[in-house]
Chain A
Amino acid sequence: MTEPLSIPVLSVDRVVKHFGKTIAVDGISLDIRENEFFALLGPSGCGKTTLLRMIAGFEVPDSGSIHLGDRDITREAPDKRPLNLMFQSYALFPHMTVWQNLAYGLEMERLPRGEIASRVDDMLKTTDLVALSARKPAELSGGQKQRVALARALIKRPKVLLLDEPLGALDKKLREKMQLELKRLQHEVGITFIIVTHDQEEALVMADRIAVLRDGHILQCGTPQDIYERPANRFVAGFIGMMNFIEGEIGSDALFRAAGQALVCDMHGLKRSAPAVLAVRPEHILLRPEGSGVAGTVVDVAYHGLDRQLYVKTALSQAPLQVRVAAAGPEEAAARTGASVSLGFDAAACRLFQE
C-alpha cells in the first residue's frame, strides 16, 4: 500500500506503563504525521487515555520514548511541551470568565498584553464565542463549554492538539454536528489532532487514521476504510460497526464450511483443516431466490428509515444473522417476521479469522 511520505510530527516508541501490577500500556509504537487527524479507539481500560496522558506529560512511561519532531519529550514537564490537551471534563477555570480562560495560556507565555488581547479576540471570533466572553463557565451550556475548552487549547497554537473524549458529554445531535465541526476546524488551523474515543462511529467519521487498542496493545492501525473493510482480527471486526460471526472449519480443500454449507473465501495465510470464524457485515449478506442459498427464517425486523435490519435465524450460527436490506424495493416482501428467506454471501467481503 502506498502512503504519502512525510516526517512524523509525533512518534511514540515502544512505550510501556504500569500502574502497580496492572499494565496499562504494553509496548505501543506509533508515528503520527503532520496535519493528521488521528484517533485512538478502544473500549474503556484499553490504555488509550494513559497513552494520551503520557503524550501530554501527566504520566511518565516506565520505558520507551516519545519524540515531538526530533525533540525527546518523554520526561519533559507538561508546561514545557508545545502541545495541548482538551480535557474530557473541559476543566475550565470556574473563577475566570471565558475571556480570561482563553488568555490564561498566553499569559503563561508572558506575551505582551496587546498581543494577548488580539489573539483572544480572534479566537473568540473563530469559535463564535464573542457574545459569551464575559461569562463564567457556570453560565454556559455543555456545547458552549466544549467550544471554550477547544478554543483555550487551540489559542496556544500547539504542534499537536490532544482531545480526550471531546464529544463524550454532548447529546447525540450536537455530537454529530461537532464531529464535522472539529474536522473542519482541524483543516482550517492545520494542527495535528490526536483524539481519544471509545465511540467507533466518531472515529470513522472524523479520523484520517485510527489505532484500535485493547489491553495496552495496538491491534490495528490504518485508515477508517482499512479498519472497516479489512479488520485484522476478530476483536477489531466486532468492535467496529456491526458484524456477523459464523463458527466453522477450513477444510483441506481450502473451503470454509459451517453447518454443511461451503463457501469460497480468501484463504491467504490461514491453516487448512482447522477451525475458523467467518466475519461478514450485514450489508454483505444478500437475499437470494428461494432454494439457492442458506435457508433461514426472519425472527425480527428493525426499520431504520433508509434501510431495514433483518434478524434471520439459520443453521449457521446460534445468534440470528443480521442482514441489511433496502427499506423499499423487491426485498420488502421478506421484511416481516416469520418470512422464509434464502441468504447468499458476498464472498469477496467476507473475512476469516483463526485463533
Chain B
Amino acid sequence: MSSQTARSNLMALPAIAWLGLFMIVPCLIVFAYAFLTRGLYGGVEYTLTSENFARVFDPLYAKIFLTSVRIAGLATLFAILIAYPAAYAICLAPKRMQPILLFFAVLPFWSNYLIRTYAWIVLLNREGLINNLLRWLGYDGEPLSLLYSEGAVIVGLVYNYLPFVILAIYSSLSRLNGDLIEASRDLGAGRVRTFLRVTLPLTMPGVAAGGVFIFVLSIGNFVTPALLGGGRFQMIGNLVYDQFLTANDWPFGAALGMVLIAVMIGLLLLQARASARFSGETAEAKHG
C-alpha cells in the first residue's frame, strides 16, 4: 500500500468510526435479537430460535409485506412519471436558470417532514381544501374521503421524496452528451424515437438511482402511513414500530427489520451495478 492511500484511509477514520459505532454495531445487535426469544415485558430472553423468521412468512405478515411493496412501487412509479418531465424541463432551461429551478424543486425538502405531512391532512380531510374547492365548483354530494386511504399514503410519499428523484434524473440528463441527440435526429429519428432509443436508455442510471431511493425510503416508512393512512393501512414500518413499542415483541420486530434491510441492500446492489455499467459508457461518450 502506498503512503498516499494510507493517508486517505486515515482521513476516512472518523467516518468509519461513526458508521461502525452507530450503524454497524446496532445492526448487529438487532440481527442477534432476531434469533432470540421475546421477553415478557419487552427485551429478550437468551434462548436461540429461528421461529421469528418463520413468522415473517406467515400469510398475515406476508400480506403486509406485499401491501408495502405495492404502495412503495406505486409511489416510485408516480414519482418517476412526475420527476422525469420536470428534470427534462429544467435541463432545457437556459444554463444560468437551472440552479434556480433546481433550488425551487428541492425547496419543500428544507421544511420539516412532519409539517409537510400534516399539511396534506389539511388538504385532504373531509373539511379540507380539496373538498371545499369541489363544493365551491358546484359539487354537492357527500364530501370525499380522501384522507386515510392508500392513495393518501402514496400522495404523501411521492410528495416527500420527489425532490430526490428530480435531482437524480436531472444529474443524469444534464450529463448526456447533446451530440448524441443530434446524431439520432440526423440519422432520421424524430423526437419521440430519439427519446425512446437514445435519451431514455442513457438516463436509466438516474431513473434507477432516484427510483431505488424513493422505493427504499417508502417501503420502510412508518410516519406517512401512520398519519395519512390513519392506521388502517399497515405497512412494514408500522408493523416493526408496533412490535417494539406496543406488542413488546422485540425479536419479531428485529426479524422483520432484518428482512426489510435485506430487501433494501439487494435493491441498492442491483442499482449500483446497473449504474456502474452505464456510467462508464456515458463518461466515454462525453470525451469522444
Contacts and interface: CB of A to CB of B under 8 A. Distances in A.
Interface of A: 56-58, 77-79, 84-85, 87-95, 104-105, 108-109, 136-138, 145, 152-153, 156, 169
Given A88-B288, A94-B284, A95-B202, 13 more contacts: A58-B185, A78-B185, A79-B187, A79-B190, A84-B186, A85-B183, A87-B182, A91-B182, A93-B180, A94-B285, A95-B201, A104-B197, A156-B188
Contacts of B184: 93, 104
Query: Which 6 pairs between the two chains have the least Cβ-Cβ distance?
Result: A108-B188, A105-B187, A94-B281, A91-B183, A91-B179, A89-B288
Interface string B168-205: 00000000010110111111111001000110011000
A85 to B, nearest CB: 5
6 contacts: A78-B185, A79-B190, A89-B179, A91-B183, A137-B285, A156-B187
B201 A78 contact: no
Q: What band does the interface of chain B fall in when counting residues whose beta carbon is under 8 Å from A?
A: 20 to 34
B189 A145 contact: no
Interface of B: 177, 179-180, 182-190, 193, 197-198, 201-202, 278, 280-282, 284-285, 288
Contacts of B185: 57-58, 77-79
Contact of A90 (B190, B278, B288): B288
A93 B181 CA distance: 9
Nearest to B183: A91
Contacts of A145: 288
Contacts of A57: 185-186
A24 to B, nearest CB: 17
B182 A58 contact: yes
A93 B198 contact: yes
A92 B183 CA distance: 8
A354 B188 CA distance: 49
A80 B215 CA distance: 42
A337 B177 CA distance: 52
Count chain B CB atoms within 10 A of each CB in A58, A108, A145 and give the residue with the most.
A108
A231 B282 CA distance: 45
Contacts of B193: 108
A152 B180 CA distance: 13
A138 B281 contact: yes
Contacts of A79: 185-190
A85 B198 CA distance: 17
Contacts of B183: 85, 87, 91-93
Nearest to B278: A95
A108 B187 contact: yes
Nearest to B189: A108
Nearest to B284: A138
A138 B186 CA distance: 22
A122 B267 CA distance: 43
Nearest to A84: B186
B177 A91 contact: yes
B196 to A, nearest CB: 12
A92 B285 contact: yes
A93 B179 CA distance: 10
A153 B185 CA distance: 12
A240 B182 CA distance: 32
Contact of B186 (A85, A89, A94): A85
A78 B189 CA distance: 9
Count chain B CB atoms within 10 A of each CB in A56, A57, A58, A94 and give the residue with the most.
A94
A136 B284 CA distance: 11
Count chain B CB atoms within 10 A of each CB in A56, A87, A93, A136 and give the residue with the most.
A93
Contact of B284 (A56, A87, A137, A156): A137
Contacts of B179: 87, 89, 91
B193 to A, nearest CB: 7
A183 to B, nearest CB: 23
B182 A94 contact: no
Contacts of A153: 186-187
Contacts of B284: 94, 137-138
A78 B198 contact: no
Contacts of B198: 93
Nearest to B277: A95
Nearest to A110: B188
A84 B284 CA distance: 23
B285 A56 contact: no
A91 B188 contact: no
A153 B187 CA distance: 7
A196 to B, nearest CB: 14
A261 to B, nearest CB: 52
A104 B202 CA distance: 15
Count chain A CB atoms within 10 A of each CB in B183, B189, B285 and give the residue with the most.
B183
Given A93-B198, A169-B288, A109 B280 contact: no
Nearest to B282: A94
Contacts of B188: 79, 105, 108-109, 156
